[in-house]
Chain A
Amino acid sequence: MKTLFYILGGAVLVVFATWAYRVNYETQDAVGRVNDLTRQIAREREAIGVLRAEWAYLNRPDRLRELAELYFPDLQLMPLSPEHFGEPVTVAYPIEDLADAIEANMELSE
C-alpha cells in the first residue's frame, strides 16, 4: 500500500512537473511573440505615419494647383466659382413617358 502511494505520488509529481515546464516555456514563447508583434505594430504605425505625411505632402494645395494647371487641356479643372452652383428649378423634368416622346419625335422626323 505504501509503495503504491510512493509510486502514485512520483507519477503525479512527474506529470505536474512536465505540465509546469511546458506552461513555462509556452508563456515565454507567447511573451516573445507579443514583443515581436508589439515591435511590428510600432513599425507599422511609424510606416503609416510616414505614408500619411507623404499623402499630405502629395495633396498639398500648391502641388494640386500646379497639376491642375499642367493638365488643364485634358481635365479643364477650374477653381470653384459661384456660377458652378445650379438651381434645382433649372433642371429639366424627366419626360413622363419616354417611349411616347421618342415615337412622337420619330413621327416628326418622318
Chain B
Amino acid sequence: MIRRPLRPLARVLDARAQGYNPDTVEAEERAHRMRQRHKAERQRSETRLLLLGATFLLAFFTVGARMALLAASEPEEPRAVASSAAITAGRADIVDRNGTILATNLVTHSLYAQPHHIVDPQTAAIGLANIFGDLDADELHRQFTSDRKFLWIKRTLSPEQRQAVHDLGEPGLMFGPREVRLYPNGSIAAHVLGGSGFGREGVHAAELKGTAGVEKAFDAFLSDPAQGGAPLELSIDLSVQAAVERVLAGGMTLMNAKGASAVLMEARTGQIIALASLPDFDPNHRPKPPISGDPGESPLFNRAAQGRYELGSTFKLFTVAQALDSGQATPGTVIDTQGPMKWGRYTIRDFHDYGPRLSVEDVLVKSSNIGTARLAVAAGTPRQQAFLKGLGFFEPVPVQLPEAGRTRPLLPKQWSELSTMTISYGHGIAATPLHLATAYASLVNGGLRVQPTLLKDAPSPTEADRIVSERTSAELRHMLRQVVVRGTASLGRVPGYQVGGKTGTADKPKATGGYHKDKVIATFASVFPASNPEYVLVVTLDEPEERTGTKPRRTAGWTSVPVAAEIIRRIAPLMNMRPLPKEAPTNRSGATLTSN
C-alpha cells in the first residue's frame, strides 16, 4: 500500500504560498491517519465478537440438536445383550417327571378383517364361508359392508386354512401371529393340566392364561420371563398316568359306574404320580362349564380333588390308628362286636354278623362298624377330632390345584357322640379321594405327615411332621395287608407286590336328604408293597354295579378292588418295581448243562 506522507510536499508548498503554518497540514494528516487506524481496529474487534458469538451459537445448537434427537428417538436395547435372549415362547412348557412334554406352545395365525380395505365383500364372504363351515356368508357380507373398521374372524387357523384364506387374494383379510397352547397327549392328565385360554388380545399377540389346573395355579411362573423359559416339572409320570386312565376307564365300563377317580401318590414324599378323574375332557378344546345340571357330573369336575364323598370304611383305619397310637389298644385287644348296636334312636349294624367279639386287627380286616364305633366312643370325640385334623381332614388339600383349594371337607355341624361313632367308619364326613390318599400315605410311610404335591423334587416330610409312631405305622401296614390276604379285599391280590388296603362302600346321599339304597361310592385305598410302602393308590367308583352274579354287587370288594388290582399290576412294572420272588427258583435244563 502506498503510504501517505505526514507532510505531503504539494500541500506544504501550497500552505507556504498561501501564508499559513504548514504544521496544520501535518496535524490534519496525523488526525486522518489516526481515524483510519481506529476504524480498522474496530472492524477487527467486531469480527472477533461475531466469530465468538457464532461459535457459542453453534455449540448451543449442537447441544440442543442432540437433546432433541435423544428425546425424539426410540429407546433401544444394547445389541450385545439382545442377541443372547433364549426365550422363544410367551409361556413355558409343562413337562412330566421324565421330561416328556405335557403342554407346549405352537405358533399359528389369527384371521381378522379390515372391512374398508375389502375389495369384493360378496366373494370374500362366500369364500370364507366355504373354508370355515361354521361361518355364515350372509352374516359376513353384512359385517363387511358395515362401517366397522376392524373385525375378528377366527382366533386360530391351521396352516391349511391359512393358505386357503391367502388364496382368496383379498387385501382386507389380515393374519396376526398367535401362540396357542398345545396338549399333545389329548385328554391324558386333563384334570391336572386344566387348560388355558386367551387373556388380553391384540392384533400382533395374545396373552395366554391358564383357566384351571396347574396352568392356573402356576400362571405367574409359566409366564414369567425371568425364568428364561425353564419348563414346569410336574411329579406326574405320563406313561403311568396313561395306564391308570386306561385301566380305570375299562374298569368303569365293566363295573357300570358313571364316574371314577384314581390317585397314585408316593407314600414317602406325597408326590402325585397319577391323578385321574373320569369322565374327562380334552384340554385342547376345554368345554364350557355346564350351565344346567349337577356340576359334579360334568367332565370338567375333578372327582379326585373336588369330589367330596363319604368314603365309608376306609376311615376305619384312622380310628384304629388313633387307638393303637394312643396306647388305648393293641392289634390283639378284643372288642365287643355284638350287634346290632343301639344308640338312642339309631342302630349300627354290620354287613354280616361277625360274632360277639373280634380283635382290633379283625375289626379292620372284617370291617366291623360296631367294633370301630366302640373304639371311637372309648377314645372320645376330642381325640378323634384332633387325629383327623392332624391328617388334614379339616382343611382343603394343599395341592397345587385351584379346584382342590376351594374344596373344604364336609364335617358335621354338631359333632355329637353319634357323629363320632358314624365318622369312625366313614359316614357323616365327606372328603376328597386326595384327602384319603394323603392320610393313608402319612400313616403307612412310617408315620410322617406328607404334603401332597404335583411338583417334582418337592421336599420330603421330616421328623417334625410325625403323626403316629413308627411302630403304629408298621402295625397298620400289617393289618392292611391282612385285609387283602384274608379280608374284604381278597380280589386285590397282585402276585409279587404285597398289596395292602382297605375297602369302603358308602351309600350316596340323596339330593333331597336321606340315602339311596342302590347307589354307592365304592373306594379302595391301597398301599404297595405293604412291607415297605412306596405308593398309595386310591380308586373310587361312582355308582358301580357288578352284574355278573345273580344279583348286582356294589361293595368295594367286588368293584373298586379288582380295578385297583389291575391298575397296580399294570403300573408297578412301569415304575421299575420288581415283583418280590414268589417261589424258590428251580433248576432248569439250562442249569443242568453246567454240571456236565
Contacts and interface: CB of A to CB of B under 8 A. Distances in A.
B360 interface: no
A80 interface: yes
A99 interface: no
A49 B82 CA distance: 20
Interface residues of A, number: 35
Interface residues of B, number: 41
A56 B185 CA distance: 8
A82 B106 CA distance: 39
B581 interface: yes
- Specify the main secondary structure of chain A where it touches its partner: helix
Interface stretch (B65-73, B166-174, B512-520, B583-591): B583-591
Contacts of A81: 569-570, 573
Interface in A34-84: 34-35, 37-38, 42, 45-46, 49-50, 52-53, 56-57, 59-62, 65, 79-82, 84
A6 interface: no
Contacts of B588: 90, 92
Contact of A93 (B495, B496, B591): B591
A92 B573 contact: no
A43 B574 CA distance: 37
B594 A96 contact: yes
Given A53-B182, A57-B184, A82 B573 contact: yes
B332 to A, nearest CB: 34
B238 A61 contact: yes
A84 B585 contact: no
A80 B574 contact: yes
A12 B106 CA distance: 58
B572 A60 contact: no
B205 interface: no
A46 B107 contact: yes
A82 B88 contact: no
Interface string A93-104: 101100001001
A79 B243 CA distance: 9
23 contacts: A45-B88, A46-B88, A49-B89, A49-B105, A49-B106, A50-B107, A53-B106, A56-B101, A56-B104, A57-B182, A57-B184, A59-B184, A60-B188, A79-B243, A80-B573, A81-B573, A82-B494, A85-B579, A87-B581, A91-B590, A92-B593, A93-B594, A101-B593
A-B residue pairs, 8 tightest by C-beta: A92-B590, A61-B242, A56-B184, A56-B101, A57-B184, A80-B573, A82-B579, A45-B88
